């Protein structure tokens, strides 16, 4: 079960956005596996995609289409990644875009395809093409949760969130959905994430918000250290709110909107970790007192991705030796180990180059047994701080991934 995570009861509609979900029969078991997002004209759209060199066919096509025009539709399937499929994969992704374009009378370039699921298998084009008319008929402005469910793969719960803010006297809505549970260490975003607001902004403003939000949210999570071939992040502003356009990066309106979107991204990113494959623990790793951002992140990720550390968390074993051994492999030059302090929640486990004098095995065991844990590392060599979120490594993670194609 996901850690401290519940399915949302309701989500806010975004003026200018309609969504739908249907079953195309991609899975053996009948479930919704196809989603469509319709974006009103004159919307501002900004994106980020995986940096994996084996990026999937839909990623390649979406990136190419974005160089030509602004998208009107996002066509998303689960159950098949359409990655590692060569020229056939590109042809298949283009075929479903063409089918949708013909029905809605738009250009193929105005459609962004997205896929998630098993790598290396051909996309079931005919099944998807047959389902597209139903997708179009079902479009509505209140289908965010249905779309969130349709894009799930090993997720155990749909991940979605909404928020409202005030800019002047006008209420601005923001809603986002995401999917992801395994193959998580984004190098730009998460596996698939779609966020929309009715705010009026310029392209430059939305681009800056995207970059700032990603850097502190989706680019701060890891489940297993693997970046997916299909990672995609889409941020949409429909400009339907009746407010002056936000066009200055130093304005109060910009800061209000950026903070709200940042919080949405953080909660969605953390939801992925809370629903990590086989996860029993949600772990925040905070590194303080670094000389720069890079060494803080190196320390955090080196600890988070150590199988020995992760399995110690699974066993609720306060084996602090594994933590300092992992930290010792981080890329931090000329570090003074005597200055390092490490806490598990409020319990100091390491200080002055040795086990803390105040530490007891009982206190360490008590804190490691909790579902939510903060591991705090104080480097005491500068003013930088960074935080990432990760999971433990359980028997269930191995089982889920061993049987993924079964």
User: Domain locations in the chain?
Assistant: 17-274, 282-402
Q: List, for residues 28-51, the tens digit of each pLDDT value.
A: 999 999 999 999 999 999 999 998
CATH superfamily for 282-402 is ArgJ beta chain, C-terminal domain (3.10.20.340)
Tell me what pLDDT residue 182 has.
Answer: 77
pLDDT band at 189 (very low <50, low <70, confident <90, very high): low
Write down the pTM of the prediction: 0.94
Q: Is the pLDDT of residue 406 over 70?
A: no
Q: List, for residues 298-307, the tens digit of each pLDDT value.
A: 999 999 999 9
Tell me what pLDDT residue 4 has.
Answer: 92
> Which is nearest to 180 in space by CA: 141, 142, 233?
233
Q: What percent of the chain has pLDDT over 70?
A: 99
What is the mean pLDDT of the segment spanning 346-355? 96
Q: Convert the chain into a string of H (helix), E (strand) and C (coil).
A: CCCCCCCCCCCCCCCCEEEEEECCCCCCCCCCCEEEEEECCCCEEEEEECCCCCCCHHHHHHHHHHCCCCCCEEEEEEEECCCCCHHHHHHHHHHHHHHHHHHHCCCHHHEEEEEEEECCCCCCHHHHHHHHHHHHHCCECCCHHHHHHHCCCCCCCCEEEEEEEEECCEEEEEEEEEECCCCCCCCCCCCEEEEEECCCECHHHHHHHHHHHHHCCHHHEECCCCCCCCCEEEEEECCCCCCCCECCCCCHHHHHHHHHHHHHHHHHHHHHHHCCCCCCCEEEEEEEEECCHHHHHHHHHHHHCCHHHHHHHHCCCCCHHHHHHHHCCCCCCCCCHHHCEEEECCEEEEECCEECCCCCHHHHHHHHCCCEEEEEEECCCCCEEEEEEEECCCHHHHHHHHCCCC
- The single residue of 190, 302, 314, 391 carrying the catalytic annotation is 190
Assess whether 190 carries a catalytic annotation.
yes
Give the mean pLDDT of the chain.
94
Tell me what pLDDT residue 399 has.
Answer: 82
Tell me what pLDDT residue 277 has.
Answer: 83
Architecture of domain 17-274: 4-Layer Sandwich (3.60)
> Residue 61 is encoded by which pair of tokens?
């096509």
């Amino acid at each position: 079960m996901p850690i401290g995570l519940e399915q949302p009861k309701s989500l806010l509609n975004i003026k200018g956005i309609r969504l739908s979900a249907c079953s195309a029969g991609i899975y053996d078991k009948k479930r919704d596996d196809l989603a469509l997002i319709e974006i009103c004209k004159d919307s501002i759209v900004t994106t980020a995609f995986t940096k994996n060199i084996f990026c999937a066919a839909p990623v390649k096509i979406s990136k190419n289409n974005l160089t030509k025009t602004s998208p009107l539709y996002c066509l998303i399937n689960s159950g098949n990644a359409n990655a590692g499929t060569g020229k056939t994969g590109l042809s298949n992704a283009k075929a479903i875009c063409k089918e949708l374009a013909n029905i809605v009378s738009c250009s193929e370039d105005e459609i962004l395809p997205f896929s998630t699921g098993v790598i290396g298998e051909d996309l079931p084009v005919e099944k998807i093409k047959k389902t597209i008319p139903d997708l179009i008929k079902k479009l509505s402005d209140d289908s965010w949760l249905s779309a969130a469910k349709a894009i799930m793969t090993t997720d155990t719960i749909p991940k979605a969130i909404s928020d409202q803010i005030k800019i002047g006297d006008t209420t601005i809505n923001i809603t986002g959905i995401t999917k992801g549970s395994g193959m998580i260490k984004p190098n730009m975003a998460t596996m698939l994430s779609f966020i929309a607001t009715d705010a009026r902004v310029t392209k430059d403003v939305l681009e800056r918000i995207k970059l700032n939000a990603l850097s502190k949210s989706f680019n701060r999570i890891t489940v297993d250290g693997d970046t997916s071939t299909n990672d995609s992040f889409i941020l949409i502003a429909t400009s339907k709110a009746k407010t002056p356009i936000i066009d200055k990066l130093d304005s109060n309106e910009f800061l209000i909107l950026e903070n709200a979107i940042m919080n949405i991204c953080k909660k969605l990113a953390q939801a992925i970790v809370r629903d990590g494959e086989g996860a029993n623990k949600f772990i925040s790793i905070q590194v303080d007192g670094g000389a720069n951002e890079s060494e803080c992140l190196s320390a955090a990720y080196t600890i988070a991705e150590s199988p020995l550390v992760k399995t110690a968390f699974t066993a609720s074993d306060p084996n602090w030796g594994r933590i300092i051994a992992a930290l010792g492999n981080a890329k931090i030059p000329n570090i003074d180990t005597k200055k390092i302090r490490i806490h598990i929640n409020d319990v100091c486990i390491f200080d002055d180059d040795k086990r803390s004098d105040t530490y007891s095995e009982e206190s360490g065991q008590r804190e490691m047994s909790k579902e939510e844990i903060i591991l705090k590392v104080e480097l005491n060599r500068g003013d930088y701080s960074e935080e990432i979120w990760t999971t433990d490594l359980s028997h269930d993670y191995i089982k889920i991934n061993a049987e993924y194609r079964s």
